[in-house]
Structure 1
């Protein structure tokens, strides 16, 4: 018997020989002749030692002795019947019990009748136990032991959990248990009479088979791991043991093959190794603190997808009811940076609600066939873990593919993906902290500049007029002092607004563009100007901070929007607010902003009139705090037009889509 190996772990150990039965075999000798019965019983016992021979004068005298008998030897001539009739009675009471018929005067007719009756052996004798009779009884007892041993083995393995097969010494299958049928797909009738090569373990060289046969024929055990095929062609990994089976005398009778399915164990071992490689490679790639966030994210997705064996890996941002793909690796039309989907048609809707990663090994089989997520993305396997920053769900880290995977594989990967998501959350939090610290430092520098320059000028002017007032007592000097004090108060208010409003957005809500624009317009002295809201949309924003955006833009338009038919600022001016594909705009029909000045209008201290120069800087800072971009251009009527991109796609020319996405990620961290 042989099975082709794919991985040899085998050790060779001596198989202990089968031991003798603790009870002596028993032979029943039936003979109506008392003298002959006693003589031949004694002679048979001596010749067959250590066999116990018991005598009976007739078939009726056998009684309950048959239950303990291993063989019946009977003369043909009996007082109450003949040997052939007795053999039939014995068969009825003890099927399989060997029956040897001894005849004094044999004939072909009698031999034919005996054979037809199913006696084990027919032996002519001359009145004394011949060597031939002894040999036939010994052979019958040996066969009895062999069959008993085989039946015992089969009974023992019939309900075994491992797949077991028995072969003859030539390697032909004689028996397989139900576990073998279940594992391989071959029924008992299909396997018996064939060899283990039906499992297609793969071709081996002649040296392999010579070593295998030499091992088991020498009474040793052969062990290895093999990759077999089931009847349907599906591969499985089996730990296989092949051992010899001997009779009571130590003679080789059969081989037993035991196969334990270790496919799942091998898959688990492989995934553990892959997980370790993933974490080691990730550490080596991104441990350098100088590596930028974009590179770390790309490395994490690439390493995770490669080592965990997925064609796709992606990072998402979950915002209310929307999933946005921030970064991705792999070729999939619906999984690309910047793509958005309602969360109800994504796999991540389950991921964000669970502390443990979500796994899907075969979506259609697990009830996803009619699910919007499967219909849209078509991923049959998926594993995803949520990313949490400061106790709030930021998004998810996911891997998947369009082919099913073993559930055990995904279960083994859960802890690795969770570790990657936790690490990524820490990196995003650190980046958020560093970005906030950098902004705060920049803000402090700006405030210091304001304190040293913007406030110093009116303070110097006020001090000069105060000195003149002391010398002359003229009222105009006191009025100048008061005006400069008012200007300093205005600057201080704007600086405080910039500090409080243009930092970070903690929470957002849906805000009506029409409602907030109208509300802010009513809170500004419009001096005869008109507001037009051209269309309606909803913006996800901090409503309080957004009010400062509109109020400052409206004041800026009114201060600079002198029209051709009046010298009064703002009079006759029309300010228009409306939605765009990616956000909204605020435009006017005033004189506009010269192209050369447009890139500077958001700088602190920039002012085209007597303003503080902080109004548009406040607008820019609040937009930046939301993760938006804002730029100024020319309106249709030639005035100023401020355009806001709120969906993360508005970035400076030359930025790559990936860089733009990561920049949006950087700013969107402020929303937590």
Structure 2
């Protein structure tokens, strides 16, 4: 039935044909009457002919108050005129319009109306009425704006932070980064800082990183090194991270909640602090290296003397045994002299062996080859500058650690750099360059040290690792440098070779298994 304040609607006893049969017209009327959306029907001049109860609840106007009046009674000056012009432009084209208007209720209060207006055409396709439906979205807009404001506030605070902050999804992709992070990405030549840091953290923290992720405990103040190469100094960063879970906002998780995991990575550059610490450490390292080189020099000298004496002593021992067999126990002054010489020689060898300084005992620990090579270049800076040598330093930005004795590895690389400098001292073409390259391939760390010196003759490329074999002729000393390098390489399960394909100077290639590989093999 019609409401007392609602004009009677003719034809409600009629039926409306559908694809499934016929439906009573009253059903459509009651559906509109009971709808929670404010619905009104107007003539072509926007004069209201019908309004449902929801219209009264939204606007405050009773049906009797609006029927016959124009829809403009709801208009408010806070809606720009351009919006109304666009609205009527669409309707004149007999096209529907949807949008948001600022409307005014009967009591004068404003609200946001999400409005849909559709032209109603008669049987001849001529405009006869307009159908309008709208709902109050003021509260929804307030909540959306509040979320936007909070997001803007958070982003402003995060952007103002002097540390780089990035939000990563489960796939490790950066979802959000502040200005400091974007600047850092630019400084790193297009490489994704978060990916580089996580790779370095995985190397330094090992299983602890996965444990921190699975337990959502995070990690704090984990330092990583990034080496940009190109002659630029390395940079150090202190990284902290926290994982959290967020409810999935997709439609699929409306009834069945799903959570997505994110990582907040906070990175603070500590390069300046590390440089100060590094300067103090390098001074101490120079003193320690000088002492170590003195000890190694003594070991080399004594090892050389032992090696040189061992030959004659062995010959005397052989001659003594041969003469003793011939004499078959008969007294022989020559045999006595030989035996005395042999005893004296063996005693001298024993004295030399007892005088050999013991190698410093070092624990086996993860070692960063990039850091060691940079230390070696720092220790050799004065000699490099004095000789006018250009160093082409090309480190891998992030290099896996190797398991080893740091001091022995440092001494080994120092020996190779010193050999390269010695070779450049005899260079004649005027080009004085040392190229050092590190890279990670598979489960191994590769190091290349190349100089532009005269190179090593092909027949000596294998023999240089033998004791007292030198490429320097009479002008240099035939020491134990490369044999000791070979010994250190062997101790670290590595490989070393003189590249036969290098015809421009000498190129030494070294390979060491990563710490992860050696730990797995053990």
TM over 0.5: no
Computing the radius of gyration from Cα coordinates, the structure with the larger value is 1
